[in-house]
Amino acid sequence: MKVGIGFDSHRLVEGRPLVLGGVEIDFPKGLAGHSDGDCLLHALCDALYGALGEGDMGEHFPDTDPQWKDAESSQFLMHAAGLVSDRAMNISNVDTVVIAAEPNLSPHKQVMRERIASILGIAPGQVNIKAKRPEGFETAAEGVIAAQAVVCVG
C-alpha cells in the first residue's frame, strides 16, 4: 500500500473558462495556467506521482512545453493513472479538499466526483471531494482556488 499527497493553486482571472475537477463551471472567471489551470486535477496528479515515487507534474509535463498550452488536465491525470496500472496496482481511494472563496462549489461536487472517477477508471464512491471556504484567511486566498489531494494505491 502506498500513499501520495498533492497540492496546487491557481489564480482566478477574467477571460478563461473555469475548469475544476475536469468539469466546466459557469463563472465569470477561470483559472490561469499554462494548461486549463485545473488545480484539483493537478493536485490529484501530484498525489498519484507521489505515491509511485514519480516526482511531480512539472517533471512529466513542463509548463514551458507549448504542447501543453491550454491542455485539458484530464490527460495529465490519465497519464498518472496509467503509471498506476503499469505497475499492476490499483487506486483504493482518493480524497481531496478544494479551498475557494468563490464560486460556491457545493452544487458541483457530485459531477466533479463522477468525472474524476471516470478519468481514473474507478467508482465515484472511491472519490471524495470536500469544498472549503478560506475562513480566516480570506484576504490571502482572494482570487485563488487551491486544492489538496491524498491517494492510496495498492
Which chain residues interact with Mg ion by CB under 5 A? 8, 42
Task: Find the distance separating the first CA and the last CA of the chain, reported in whole Å.
Answer: 4
For residues 103 and 25, give the distance between their C-alpha atoms in angstroms, rounded to a whole number.
Answer: 9
**Quick check: helix, strand or coil at residue 103?**
coil
Nearer to Mg ion, 39 or 150 (CB): 39
Query: Closest separation between CB of residue 3 and Mg ion, Å?
Result: 21
Question: What is the phi/psi pair of residue 67, to 5°?
Answer: -60, -30
117 or 145, CB closer to Mg ion?
145
For Mg ion, the nearest residue by Cβ is 42
Query: Minimum Å distance from CB 144 to Mg ion?
Result: 12
Which residues contact residue 35 at a Cβ distance below 8 angstroms, ignoring those fewer than 6 apart? 61, 63, 68, 69, 70, 71, 72, 73, 76
Nearer to Mg ion, 10 or 115 (CB): 10
Q: How far is the CB of 73 from Mg ion (least distance, A)?
A: 8
Residue 8 Cβ, how far from Mg ion at the closest point, in Å?
Answer: 4
